[in-house]
Structure 1
């Protein structure tokens, strides 16, 4: 098992578990007994996550590990910061807030892809290697 397949498995299980939890929470009639519904929903959540992660990995320009993690971390951080900025600027529970948060998520995906695909990962890795070599 190489580092890239370990990375893919970790992200597939993490995202699949999150999707299974969301779907299980939607299906459970009693919020205190959610676990059986989450386990059942994992039959749907994990394959969807595997499809998405595999699709993202196939688009990367190289076979090395780390690009997928850079993509997801950048996406999550940018989307979170964008959502916080929208909540700070726009009135709560408004249509503008919903649209702004959706836009923040799309911007996060765009920045994450740009970082992982178009040289951002390579520049960060080169800077870390150069820093390590200077020590």
Structure 2
């Protein structure tokens, strides 16, 4: 009888840990990203190198959202990006968005540079002014070769 009780308790514990991992993975992949306290925005980048689903969206260094979708647009050959923003953070419609790096060895994040317009982007709207990621390897090759291009 004691062995059956132990097996049931261990099995319950394993199922609880597995459920916790599934919830954590869903949060990282953006599967459960649209919540009542967030809204979606879109942007299209020439290159989204270093950005993936789950990448942080920051404003003034503070996390205000998460990338929830990244797809190649077959017509424009640009990276169409979808991200969720925390409710209460309103973005002026003349804002810019760029892919920034945390440093030489750090990862990338998406940064929103707010504009000065009195009008805000509607939920499910698009930020038009985008700046793609800069490849460190390309910059180093330009520096070594002395190219201005």
TM over 0.5: no
* TM-score bracket for the superposition, by shorter chain length: under 0.3
TM superposition score normalised by structure 2:
0.25
TM superposition score normalised by structure 1:
0.26
For the pair shown, the structure with the greater C-alpha radius of gyration is: 2
